[in-house]
Amino acid sequence: MRAAVLVDQEVMDVKEQKTPEAGTGEVLIRVRSCGICGTDQHIYHGHPGSAEVHPPIILGHELSGEVVAVGQGVSSLKEGDRVSVDPNIYCGSCEYCRSGRLHLCDRLQAVGVTRDGGMAECCLVPAENCYIIPDAMSYEEAALLEPLGCVLHGFRKLDIRPQHQVLIIGGGFIGQIFLQLVRERGVSRITVSEPASYKHESLRGLGADAVVSPLDPDTADVLASSADVVIECVGRTDSVQTAVRAARKGGQVLLFGVAAPDAEAAIRPFDIFSKELRIMGSFINPFTHTDAIQLVSRGKVRLAPLISHRFTLEQLPDAMRNYPQLGVSKGIVQI
């Protein structure tokens, strides 16, 4: 099989690899679509993903495809099934797993992070991590159920009410999903902060009442203590600081964007105290894949229109190398 292998930091090559065989409890998937996540870029540049990464490895934790081989002991799937993959694999025995917080597992493994993933013609996956998708759902949509599931996990942490004003910081792929979910709650006002002006029209089309640019010197004053709920989708120091400043008294702040491990933000504890803020993090996607399938199937969340770039396996090494310059909102590898 062909695979795009991360050989070393910032070194990816398309190679012929031996096609793996399905072991006990596993299925072999013929990959059809694989999303490129911001975390894949972090890993490419030498940072950890949801767990430590040790090249050489095949990246790609947002994937879908067709089951082509079934290992011993698998009765829930058969050859020909169309599936989407939840990549996260939990140990089941640490204190977090045993208390129902599996996503915080001390020995977390993940397809495309600690074991070979979907940037290849085939991928070996535990059968229990596969979800059969409806016939009407495209493989591209199915690959993007994983990031939608991550967004759902964060979204469920928030108490969003109709009278609330919501600020979303970052109008990229993740911000666009959050925007659709918030819109369904019928809130009073949704504002999106996004520096790329070419995204502003589409953000309004997805339901934003206002779109502002953080590059505008007046934006900080406009946003100060303005939002009941702030959803930070960027992971930059300045955007985290903006999130805390923008929250009103009694506000909720969700820090969803993935910051660099060594990033530090200057936040005034007095603001948290005096405004009695709730500041929350959100990590991966426990127990959300089934709901993600339903949201897309019912048209509550649209994923396909959010794809900005499509690449082949052969194009992937150059794409990963030049990703920041390509203006990608969401990239898909078509295999």
> What is the Cα–Cα distance from 118 to 131, expressed in whole angstroms?
15
CB 29 within 8 A of CB 66: yes
The residue length of the chain stands at 335
42 catalytic? Reply is yes
- Which residues lie across from 88 on neighbouring strands? 110
Q: Which amino acid is at 285?
A: N
Question: Tokens standing for 121?
Answer: 């013609």
9: tokens are: 């930091």
In the set 19, 24, 42, 54, the catalytic residue is 42
Q: What is the DSSP letter of 18?
A: P
At 6, is the secondary structure helix, strand, or coil? strand
Q: Which of 19, 24, 39, 114 is catalytic?
A: 39
Contact (CB, 8 A) for 93 and 145: no
**How many of the other CB atoms lie within 10 Å of CB of 300?**
12
Helix (H) or strand (E) holding 71, with range, is: none
DSSP state of 333: E
Please tell me the distance from the alpha carbon of residue 177 to that of residue 175, in angstroms, as a whole number.
5
61 annotated active-site: no
Q: Which residues are catalytic?
A: 39, 42
